[in-house]
């Protein structure tokens, strides 16, 4: 018997091994094994049964050991790993490593305890004989005979004051049996249990929720792969629909994965979910999965799922790899959240992996969001996903009014670069008179600032990477943080030649000063990392604010941490452009969510809250904000924009790194490669490169040249991998494909 093994040793190659007689019976796909590689022994995963085609069988070494008697990767996850390897162009061994928790991989010893129980009952005469000849054994027998279930060995022995010798004697006679069992560490000891005890009774569903829940239940009953996109406005009660679906899946005997963005995984949410799940499926453990678990907790949770003791896992991104058995339902809450993207190798998108895993298991995928990602929305429009809608808010609260203020007009009116617009100042005055509160929100992210033209709104971007360039004051240059390209900071706007260039990087301090000028009698507090350096200051300020001792709170993202302020009826976004043009395209989405969250609660009674957004690029912000108010309208215009402009909805950003010593040769091959890519993708491909300034460290050390491609097509990645395989590279040039899974469909 010969097996192919993926060694977890840092190189991505399938190696073959003989299976010794003793290990043959237990051998199967997905097992974690130890295998010799050269002088060492490493962990590996059995990925194939059968002999190699390109290696002499007689030179094969034997498998050293089977680490666990059951597959560390069940069949579906093994298949998923292979798909990911192809789809994300990532090495398979790395994917296997991310799928199996470290503690499991290292074959960590399980915390075990031995349980004692009776193997058979003794006849009365046998018992009498035993009492005479071996009184201690008889005591043990009597004790165990009174127990309803197996008891821990250590406990029994200490209670009876006996030693293991007594147990051994009885075992030899076949009267007592010993079994090993794992000690549950997860039970409910992860701190999540103490969050908040919430009444567990199910809420009554409104008609829309009811219809949605029934539709999902029907999909589950079909027992085939399907994906449902649940588009429900903020506060429409999506969670109740998830819970009904989970209920249905559990009742059908299946397992469930419930993904939430990492930030949403707070003790309160988990406790709430858990109490509801308890009510739905009494006796079923719900495993919580996130990055802050200890090794032991992770191990226990993993085992509970792998053995079927637990059938539900709630967790962040990586919970999609939990070894849930008989998977019937995968829920992805807030499916548009960028937190689902892993941006280290292996790069993957949790939501997309979830959909594919559902497909492999013929399970149901349920994606929920108030603002679906464009790719999911397009999939729904194309009929690939079923679209369900929840249009009514359960709590009947009004959405906030959003004003977008064009700061270019404001600048003309005030003849200076304003910090606060008239609109915002007026709104703040009204709040102050009514004794309501205001939050001014400013996104200053570190020292990064960008170049903005106050006449035309132009923001300088890197020509290779399409991200905003960052201004570095020390050497007066604009630099791209992705590829390292740099150019001198311009004196006039490169687009409209206007000299009115502004370097963005507005601080909370300046905003505070401005507010003092317009509202001299107001109590103002500033909240950012500088002023909050003192330990409990943060908490203090939040408490004062909540108690109404502060009228205006000026702060950075950290305000979002204490979100629930019932008396806040106005939120001002001082400088929307900073967040929208930050060199991390994910940041704008996050900031955005935060604002809408604050604003969504800003209503008072029947009066809606107000949000004032100050911006130099009103079109962009209008689109962003309409995304929440009118998602369909947003989606339509955004899709058009992306099609016409540079960011199609399914763009993959592909970094292609060429390595070699001869620049001319590199140039030649990059062009050749580009031609081949174009042949396959036609006009959907854009070649941008070479990068003028490859990342220094890499350049010095390996003399790499960095080239970037961007391509827009749903099939780009698999096709590129195919291309890579058939493209013949000369010996002195190597290339690496790195794919950022932006909006994979």
Summarize as ranges the residues that interact with DNA (CB under 7 A). Answer: 9-11, 13, 15-17, 36-40, 52, 54-55, 59-61, 731-732
3-class DSSP assignment, residue 345: coil
Give the list of residues 6+ apart from residue 189 with CB closer than 8 angstroms, or none: none
The answer to whether 465 is a known ligand-binding residue is: yes
Number of Cα atoms under 13 Å in the Cβ half of residue 274? 26
At closest approach, how far in Å is the CB of 86 from DNA?
20
* Comparison of 38 and 283: residue with beta carbon closer to DNA: 38
* Comparison of 94 and 232: residue with beta carbon closer to DNA: 94
* Comparison of 183 and 736: residue with beta carbon closer to DNA: 736
Q: Closest Cα to residue 456, out of 491, 487, 497?
A: 497
**CA-CA-CA-CA torsion for 282, 287, 292, 298, nearest 10 degrees?**
140
The answer to whether 286 is a known ligand-binding residue is: no
Question: What SS3 string covers 377-445?
Answer: HHHHHCCCCEEEEECCCCCCCCCCEEEEEEHHHHHHHHCCCCCCCHHHHHHHHHHHHCCCEEEEECCCC
Note whether 194 and 267 are within 8 A (CB). Answer: yes
At closest approach, how far in Å is the CB of 694 from DNA?
17
* Comparison of 11 and 447: residue with beta carbon closer to DNA: 11
* Comparison of 705 and 712: residue with beta carbon closer to DNA: 705
Note whether 143 and 160 are within 8 A (CB). Answer: yes
What are the residues facing 655 on neighbouring strands? 708, 738
Burial of 283 (0-12, 13-18, 19+ CB in 10 A): exposed
The answer to whether 483 is a known ligand-binding residue is: yes
At closest approach, how far in Å is the CB of 60 from DNA?
4
At closest approach, how far in Å is the CB of 2 from DNA?
9
At closest approach, how far in Å is the CB of 6 from DNA?
11
3-class DSSP assignment, residue 652: strand
At closest approach, how far in Å is the CB of 37 from DNA?
4
State the chain's maximal CA–CA distance in angstroms: 108
At closest approach, how far in Å is the CB of 490 from DNA?
39
Q: How far apart are CA 175 and CA 379, in angstroms?
A: 63
What are the residues facing 652 on neighbouring strands? 711
Cβ-based neighbour number of residue 380 at 10 Å: 20
Give the list of residues 6+ apart from residue 544 with CB closer than 8 angstroms, or none: 525, 550
* Comparison of 55 and 447: residue with beta carbon closer to DNA: 55
Q: How far apart are CA 718 and CA 706, in angstroms?
A: 21
Note whether 88 and 53 are within 8 A (CB). Answer: no
At closest approach, how far in Å is the CB of 10 from DNA?
2
Q: How far apart are CA 633 and CA 623, in angstroms?
A: 9
At closest approach, how far in Å is the CB of 81 from DNA?
18
* Comparison of 41 and 183: residue with beta carbon closer to DNA: 41
The answer to whether 496 is a known ligand-binding residue is: yes
* Comparison of 14 and 518: residue with beta carbon closer to DNA: 14
* Comparison of 10 and 253: residue with beta carbon closer to DNA: 10
Question: What does DSSP assign to residue 69?
Answer: S
Binding positions for Zn(2+)? 453, 456, 462, 465, 480, 483, 493, 496
Residues annotated within the binding site are: 453, 456, 462, 465, 480, 483, 493, 496
């Amino acid at each position: 018997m010969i097996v192919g093994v993926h060694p977890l040793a840092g190189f991505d190659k399938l190696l073959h091994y003989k299976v010794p007689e003793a290990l043959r019976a237990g051998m199967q796909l997905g097992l974690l094994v130890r295998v010799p590689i050269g002088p060492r022994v490493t962990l590996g995963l059995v990925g194939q049964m059968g002999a190699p085609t390109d290696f002499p069988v007689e030179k094969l070494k034997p498998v050293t050991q089977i680490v666990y008697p059951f597959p560390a990767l069940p069949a579906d996850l093994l298949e998923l790993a292979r798909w990911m390897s192809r789809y994300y162009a990532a090495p398979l061994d790395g994917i296997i490593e991310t799928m199996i928790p470290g503690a499991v991989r290292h074959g960590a010893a399980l915390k075990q305890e031995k349980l004692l129980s009776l193997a058979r009952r003794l006849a009365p005469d046998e018992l009498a004989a035993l009492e005479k000849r071996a009184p201690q054994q008889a005591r043990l027998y009597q004790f165990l005979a009174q127990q309803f279930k197996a008891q821990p060995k250590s406990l029994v022995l200490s209670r009876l004051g006996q030693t293991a010798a007594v147990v051994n004697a009885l075992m030899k006679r076949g009267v007592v049996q010993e079994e090993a069992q794992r000690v549950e560490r997860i039970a409910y000891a992860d701190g999540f249990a103490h969050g908040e005890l919430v009444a567990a009774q199910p809420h009554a569903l409104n008609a829309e929720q009811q219809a949605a829940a029934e539709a999902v239940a029907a999909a589950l009953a079909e027992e085939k792969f399907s994906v449902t996109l649940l588009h429900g406005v903020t506060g429409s009660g999506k969670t109740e629909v998830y819970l009904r679906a989970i209920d249905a899946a559990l009742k059908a005997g299946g397992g469930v994965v419930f993904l939430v963005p990492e930030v949403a995984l707070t003790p309160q949410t988990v406790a709430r979910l858990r109490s509801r799940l308890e009510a739905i499926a009494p006796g079923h453990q719900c495993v919580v999965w996130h990055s802050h678990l200890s090794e032991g907790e992770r191990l226990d949770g993993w085992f509970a799922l792998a053995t079927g003791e637990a059938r539900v896992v709630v967790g962040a991104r990586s919970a999609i790899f939990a070894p849930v058995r008989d998977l019937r339902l995968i829920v992805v809450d807030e499916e548009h959240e960028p937190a689902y993207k892993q941006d280290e190798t292996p790069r993957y998108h949790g939501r997309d992996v979830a959909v594919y895993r559902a497909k492999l298991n013929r399970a149901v995928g349920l994606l929920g969001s108030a603002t679906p990602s464009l790719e999911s929305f397009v999939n729904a429009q194309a009929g690939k996903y079923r679209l369900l809608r929840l249009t009514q808010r359960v709590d009947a609260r009004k959405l906030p009014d959003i004003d977008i203020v064009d700061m270019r007009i404001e600048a003309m009116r005030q003849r200076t670069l304003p910090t606060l617009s008239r609109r915002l100042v007026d709104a703040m005055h009204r709040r102050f008179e009514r004794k309501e509160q205001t939050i001014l929100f400013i996104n200053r992210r570190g020292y990064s600032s960008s170049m903005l033209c106050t006449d035309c709104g132009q923001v300088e971007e890197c020509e290779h990477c399409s991200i905003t360039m960052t201004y570095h004051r020390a050497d007066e240059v604009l630099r791209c943080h992705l590829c390292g390209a740099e150019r001198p900071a311009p004196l006039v706007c490169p687009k409209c030649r206007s000299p009115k260039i502004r370097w963005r990087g507005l601080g909370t301090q300046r905003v505070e000063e401005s507010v003092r000028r317009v509202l001299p009698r107001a109590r103002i507090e500033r909240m950012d990392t500088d002023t909050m350096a003192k330990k409990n200051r943060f908490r203090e300020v939040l408490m004062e604010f909540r108690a109404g001792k502060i009228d205006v709170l000026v702060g950075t993202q950290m305000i979002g941490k204490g979100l629930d302020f019932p008396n806040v009826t106005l939120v001002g976004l001082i400088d929307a452009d900073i967040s929208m043009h930050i060199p991390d395209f994910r940041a704008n989405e996050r900031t955005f969510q935060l604002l809408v969250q604050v604003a969504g609660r800003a209503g008072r009674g029947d009066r809606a809250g107000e949000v004032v957004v100050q911006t130099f690029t009103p079109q962009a912000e209008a689109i962003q904000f309409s995304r929440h108010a009118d998602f369909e309208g947003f989606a339509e215009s955004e899709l058009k924009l992306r099609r016409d402009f540079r960011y199609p909805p399914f763009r993959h950003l592909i970094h292609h790194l060429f390595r070699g010593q001869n620049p001319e040769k590199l140039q030649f091959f990059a062009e050749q490669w580009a031609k081949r890519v174009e042949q396959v993708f036609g006009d959907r491909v854009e070649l941008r490169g070479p990068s003028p300034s490859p990342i220094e460290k890499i350049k010095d050390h390996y003399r790499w040249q960095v080239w970037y491609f961007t391509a827009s097509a749903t099939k780009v990645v698999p096709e590129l991998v195919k291309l890579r395989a058939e493209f013949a590279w000369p010996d002195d040039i190597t290339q690496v494909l790195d794919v950022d899974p932006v909006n994979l469909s």
